[in-house]
């Protein structure tokens, strides 16, 4: 049964050489997507992947589409897509697809943006793409001051405070204010987008054993503990810093709604270990909803028919649920 949505969801092209188009067509053919949507893509590319495409002129056309057709707003490729072989010539089309989706979302003409995986090097080589990833690009397009990456799978949500930077830089970028503001954005999103009235947030330490009283590093006491106290003063049910090696077993996960982590892999590894196939990347702190499959372009299996659409299905259905809750 489809979730109600004020507007159809916009699904971006992703890297044409990766598995994004394949998993989109598989998910569409399975009838597993819980809301009306349209793809901003090359219609000929999706037709070649097995979709029965209807080219539309406006996002709203997707709401009245005949059953069994995939709505596509044209964004033509400059070069034929070759599975597993990214072509910088197509970088412009990939970037325009994202920009158009964001534009529709900001105007309320798309209920959410669901992005398919991109290859940052191909975008840099073909269009001087200057961003570490989707998260930072979407923030720049929308003017969001602090984009927050959340990874979600059944049974676990995690947020890294620092994102796409070398591990050696993470302790240098951490500060109590950043941790506090990231936690506040997470708490607000859990309330508005996930209908959790009083979110419980577990905060991970940076060092082994959360610093063990300063014996293994001072950041936990100097930066993280004050941030936790500040969140609690704001009415957020946060607790920590906690040793990260004991936070993610089943009994520990039952005590919180999301984990606030200090760096990229501390947040991503537990989600991917728990349920790699159904992980979703959500960007919080934007003026619109954005989700994405929590996997990459997977060039090694592109074109082989082995790609699993489960993560995209979860991403679309999560976006639909978030949009419905905001509308309500």
Question: Looking at residue 5, what is its pLDDT?
Answer: 46
Domain count of the fold of the chain: 2
Map residue 27 onto helix, strand or coil: helix
In angstroms, rounded to a whole number, what is the distance separating the alpha carbons of residues 32 and 38?
A: 15
Question: Looking at residue 258, what is its pLDDT?
Answer: 98
Q: Do residue 160 and residue 112 come from a single domain?
A: no
Please tell me whether 121 is known to bind a ligand. Answer: no
Please tell me whether 119 is known to bind a ligand. Answer: no
Cβ-contact 319, 9 below 8 angstroms? yes
Please tell me whether 47 is known to bind a ligand. Answer: no
Residues 6+ apart with CB under 8 A from 316: 9, 11, 27, 33, 34, 35, 37, 114, 291
- Give the number of other Cβ atoms within 10 Å of residue 117's Cβ: 22
Q: Which helix H or strand E contains 177, and what residues bound it?
A: helix 176-194
Q: Do residue 112 and residue 222 come from a single domain?
A: no
Q: Do residue 13 and residue 129 come from a single domain?
A: yes
Q: Do residue 174 and residue 244 come from a single domain?
A: yes
Question: Looking at residue 149, what is its pLDDT?
Answer: 95
Q: Do residue 52 and residue 71 come from a single domain?
A: yes
Q: For 222-277, how does the pLDDT look when each residue is reduced to its tens digit (9 = 90+)?
A: 999 999 999 999 999 999 999 999 999 999 999 999 999 999 999 999 999 999 88
Please tell me whether 264 is known to bind a ligand. Answer: yes
Residues 6+ apart with CB under 8 A from 122: 15, 17, 86, 87, 88, 90, 91, 94
Question: Looking at residue 1, what is its pLDDT?
Answer: 36
DSSP state string for 78-97: SS---TT---GGGHHHHHHH
Could you list the pLDDT tens digit for every one of the 328 residues in the chain?
Answer: 344 447 999 999 999 999 999 999 999 998 888 889 999 999 999 999 999 999 999 999 999 887 678 999 999 999 999 999 999 999 999 999 999 999 999 999 999 999 999 998 999 998 888 898 888 899 999 999 999 999 999 999 999 999 989 999 999 999 999 999 999 999 999 999 999 999 999 999 999 998 888 888 899 999 999 999 999 999 999 999 999 999 999 999 999 999 999 999 999 999 999 998 899 999 999 999 999 998 999 999 999 999 999 999 999 999 999 999 988 7
- Give the number of other Cβ atoms within 10 Å of residue 3's Cβ: 17
Q: Do residue 139 and residue 149 come from a single domain?
A: no
| Peptide bond preceding 241 in cis form (omega within 30 of 0) | yes
Residues 6+ apart with CB under 8 A from 214: 221
Q: Do residue 107 and residue 199 come from a single domain?
A: no
Q: Do residue 114 and residue 4 come from a single domain?
A: yes
Owning domain of residue 233: 145-285
Q: Do residue 35 and residue 127 come from a single domain?
A: yes
Question: Looking at residue 4, what is its pLDDT?
Answer: 43
Please tell me whether 281 is known to bind a ligand. Answer: yes
Question: Looking at residue 65, what is its pLDDT?
Answer: 82
Q: Do residue 139 and residue 267 come from a single domain?
A: no
DSSP state string for 238-302: EEEEE-GGGSSSHHHHTT-SEEEESSHHHHHHHHHHHHGGG-EEEEESSSS-EEEESS---TTTT
Please tell me whether 272 is known to bind a ligand. Answer: yes
Is the pTM for the entire model greater than 0.85? Answer: yes
Q: For 163-179, how does the pLDDT look when each residue is reduced to its tens digit (9 = 90+)?
A: 989 999 999 999 999 99
CATH of the domain at 276: 3.40.718.10
Please tell me whether 290 is known to bind a ligand. Answer: yes
């Amino acid at each position: 049964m489809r979730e109600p949505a004020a507007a159809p969801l916009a699904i971006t092209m992703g890297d044409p050489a990766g598995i994004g188009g394949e998993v989109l067509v598989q998910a569409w053919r399975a009838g597993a997507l819980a809301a009306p949507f349209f793809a901003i893509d090359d219609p000929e590319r999706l037709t070649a992947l097995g979709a029965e495409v209807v080219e539309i002129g406006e996002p709203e056309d997707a709401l009245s589409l005949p059953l069994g057709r995939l709505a596509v707003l044209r964004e033509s490729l400059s070069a034929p897509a070759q599975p597993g072989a990214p072509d910088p010539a197509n970088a412009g089309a990939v970037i325009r697809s994202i920009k158009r989706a964001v534009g529709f979302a900001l105007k309320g003409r798309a209920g959410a943006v669901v992005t398919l995986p991109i290859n940052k090097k191909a975008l840099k080589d073909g269009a001087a793409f200057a961003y570490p990833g989707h998260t930072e690009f979407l923030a720049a397009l929308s003017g969001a001051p602090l984009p927050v990456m959340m990874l979600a799978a059944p049974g676990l949500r995690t947020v890294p405070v620092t994102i796409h930077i070398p591990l050696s830089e993470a302790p240098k970028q951490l500060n109590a204010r950043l941790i506090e503001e990231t936690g506040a954005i997470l708490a607000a999103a859990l309330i508005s987008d996930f209908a959790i009235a009083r979110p419980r947030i577990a905060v991970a330490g940076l060092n082994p054993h959360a610093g063990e009283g300063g014996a293994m590093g001072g950041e936990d006491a100097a930066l993280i503990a004050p941030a936790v106290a500040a969140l609690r003063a704001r009415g957020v049910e946060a607790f920590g810093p906690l040793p990260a090696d004991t936070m993610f077993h089943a009994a520990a996960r039952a005590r919180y709604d999301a984990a606030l982590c200090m760096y990229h892999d501390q947040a991503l590894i537990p989600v991917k270990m728990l349920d790699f196939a159904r992980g979703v990347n959500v960007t919080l702190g934007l003026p619109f909803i954005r989700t994405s499959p929590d996997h990459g372009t997977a060039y090694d299996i592109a074109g082989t028919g082995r790609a699993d659409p489960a993560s995209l299905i979860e991403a679309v259905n999560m976006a639909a649920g978030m949009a419905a809750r905001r509308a309500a």
